[in-house]
Chains A and B, each alone.
Chain A
Amino acid sequence: DTGVSQNPRHKITKRGQNVTFRCDPISEHNRLYWYRQTLGQGPEFLTYFQNEAQLEKSRLLSDRFSAERPKGSFSTLEIQRTEQGDSAMYLCASRKAVSLYGYTFGSGTRLTVV
């Protein structure tokens, strides 16, 4: 399977704990995106990378959130001091910078903060 892989699929954490999610994009895709989706809403953009450079961050990405893509391959999204409002599906997508085709999304990580 050469799709976008996200781990874990589900994460339950207590409020105040830190969590980290991982995304492995399609290998030849140099752009990687993070989105967040709450129930009944469309995905909301968080941030994106071109290779290892983080090129854009949404205002939704508070200082408790940090994303990295150290070698331009996989990426991690960390949430520090989780709050109940952080409960959502976190989606990763990748694509080539110049492409006739769309983004390829992973199946997401479902975070529940209790």
Chain B
Amino acid sequence: DAKTTQPNSMESNEEEPVHLPCNHSTISGTDYIHWYRQLPSQGPEYVIHGLTSNVNNRMASLAIAEDRKSSTLILHRATLRDAAVYYCILSKETSGSRLTFGEGTQLTVNP
């Protein structure tokens, strides 16, 4: 599986936008970019995924670089409930057999 690189931790203030970066320089043409987040004492939760074009849903936006070697998860207005570990994962297909998690980015949201 192609690897992703994320910062270990980031901080944000409540009600401000948050941009969580992910580098995936060895991404292949068939790799989808997935984002999951994990709140304390919970299992991971699906956030968003994309292939080439930017994507928006009710939780977040995903901005994908033109060369696809990096992407950014955007939380438009952070809330305290967004404090979690965010994982950027590459998967060969939307119905892939498994997800390979890294260590993710611990997001702290300050009131």
Contact = CB atoms under 8 A, between A and B. Distances in A.
A64 to B, nearest CB: 21
B66 to A, nearest CB: 24
A99 B43 contact: no
A56 B43 CA distance: 21
B94 A108 contact: no
A41 B103 contact: yes
Contacts of A97: 95
B43 A102 contact: no
B13 to A, nearest CB: 25
9 contacts: A4-B43, A42-B85, A43-B44, A45-B98, A55-B97, A97-B95, A104-B46, A105-B45, A108-B42
B103 A102 contact: no
B46 A101 contact: yes
Q: What 5 A-B pairs have minimum CB-CB distances, sorted nearest first?
A: A42-B101, A102-B46, A105-B43, A45-B98, A43-B101
Interface of A: 4, 31, 33, 40-45, 48, 55-56, 91-93, 95-108
Contacts, number: 57
Contacts of A48: 97-98
User: Would you call the interface of chain B mostly helix, strand, loop, or mixed?
Assistant: loop
Given A42-B85, A42-B102, A101-B46, 9 more contacts: A33-B98, A41-B103, A42-B104, A91-B43, A100-B94, A102-B47, A105-B45, A106-B43, A107-B41
Interface string B70-106: 0000000000000001010000001101111111100
A103 B99 contact: yes
Contacts of A33: 98
A44 B101 contact: yes
A61 B49 CA distance: 28
A51 to B, nearest CB: 14
Contact of B99 (A45, A101, A106): A45
With most chain A CB atoms within 10 A of its CB, the pick from B43, B44, B95 is B43
